[in-house]
Amino acid sequence: MKIGALFPRRWLNLQEYQSKKLMQESGVAVQRFYVADTASEALEAAKRLNAKEIVLKAQILAGGRGKGVFDSGLKGGVHLTKDPAVVGELANKMLGFNLTTKQTPKDGVKVKTVMVAEALDISRETYFAILMDRSCNGPVMVGSPQGGMDIEEVAASTPELIFKEVIDIFEGVQDDQALRMATNLGFKGPLQKQAADQIKRLYDLFLKVDATQVEVNPLGETPEGQVVCFDAKINFDDNAEFRQKAVFAMDDMTESDPTEMQAAKWDLKYIGLDGNIACFVNGAGLAMATCDIIDLHGGKPANFLDLGGGVQERQVYEAFKLLTADPKRNNLNKWKPLIKWSGDHFPARHPLY
């Protein structure tokens, strides 16, 4: 048995356009869209859409794109325009440039793909998510009538506007629960049933793809009376990889940290940090405690590396290779014990032996 099979390696994350494809297949309402890797493809896609208004969206695995900034100087990773030519010009300032948002590292993430979609007027933006919640032993729906780009602020300053609905995994989402959530999201009249229907479809998708989270922000309503998912973020349970082959095949990993990926290959859990003391431990709890101890003594951990309980010799070897190969973290020559050992702390003969 593969040692790593006992532990989730990392959670698969898909781009918005990939998540929206899965949503479409489950009958969830999303706008028409194309994806493009070059500015000329984006221009072509904008013409082909033949929409009254077009939205151009940078594809990175982080949220907050609307309020993000590119290192090309362009502000905003989401732009609306009526002119396909403008889509081409904007795509030129997005593709190949780094987009920094409040969810990315400070140098941002390079944009390799853009989504060109039909824009719709949005009269109201709500927030809706389904996630696995340990404290409820199962899935929970979370929603707010005040969704959109300031949802973190809404959650912090007006927590009473965040509504929760615990789902019984055996029973699924009940009609009255879906309708109650739709009402809490502020949908009125016929929109209430439409929103409840979308909520149920999103839950079906959540189960079907073994998601750990499906987040739609905004779940919006249009002046024409449609409920539409304008953004999508789905995370998946890595333990389900064996039965979600099609989903996992979409993982391009280009945004993943190369050291983390190398570690994952050997079923090691590695997370790079910005300090200079390597943390190399068996077990995540002990690794976290060790990071805390390093911090408590005035040091800074360079990484979190959990070898796992049943680690084999070869994995330990690979783990040392990873730690020592990274120039930023290669501090071997400067390693000093944090605590000065004396005979009292470290008896030559252990009393128990």
55 contact choice in ligand ADP, Mg ion, none (CB below 5 to 8 Å, kind-dependent): ligand ADP
65 contact choice in Mg ion, ligand ADP, none (CB below 5 to 8 Å, kind-dependent): ligand ADP
| Binding track, positions 177-216, relative to ligand ADP; x by CB under 6 A | ----------------------------------------
Q: What is the C-alpha separation between 126 and 184, in angstroms, rounded? A: 10
Q: What is the C-alpha separation between 180 and 174, in angstroms, rounded? A: 10
Of these, 16, 215, 221, 231, which contacts Mg ion (CB under 5 A)? 231
Tokens of residue 314, six digits:
């070869």
**Is-catalytic flag, 127?**
yes
Binding segment toward ligand ADP, per CB under 6 A, in 39-47, 59-67, 105-113, 192-200 = 59-67
Q: 62-67 — which CB contacts under 8 Å span 24+ positions?
A: 62/101, 62/103, 62/104, 62/109, 63/101, 63/103, 63/217, 63/231, 63/233, 64/101, 64/102, 64/103, 64/104, 64/149, 65/99, 65/101, 66/149, 67/101, 67/102, 67/149
Is 19 a binding residue for Mg ion by CB under 5 A? The answer is: no
**Is-catalytic flag, 215?**
yes
Percent helix, strand, coil in the chain, to 5, is: 35, 25, 40
Of these, 35, 56, 78, 264, which contacts ligand ADP (CB under 6 A)? 78
Is 198 a binding residue for Mg ion by CB under 5 A? The answer is: no
Q: What is the C-alpha separation between 222 and 227, in angstroms, rounded? A: 7
Of these, 136, 149, 154, 288, which contacts ligand ADP (CB under 6 A)? 149
Q: Cβ contacts of residue 7 below 8 Å, gap of 6+?
A: 267, 269, 308
Phi and psi torsions of 311, nearest 5°: -65, 145
Q: Cβ contacts of residue 248 below 8 Å, gap of 6+?
A: 12, 236, 241
Binding segment toward ligand ADP, per CB under 6 A, in 7-15, 104-112, 115-123, 252-260 = 115-123
Of these, 63, 84, 186, 308, which contacts ligand ADP (CB under 6 A)? 63
Binding segment toward ligand ADP, per CB under 6 A, in 116-124, 157-165, 206-214, 278-286 = 116-124
Task: Given the residues 125, 165, 215, 221, select the one marked as catalytic.
Answer: 215
Is 221 a binding residue for Mg ion by CB under 5 A? The answer is: no
By CB under 6 A, name the binding residues for ligand ADP: 31, 55, 57, 63-66, 78, 80, 117, 119-120, 122, 125, 148-149, 217-218, 230-231
By CB under 5 A, name the binding residues for Mg ion: 217, 231
The catalytic site residues sit at 127, 215
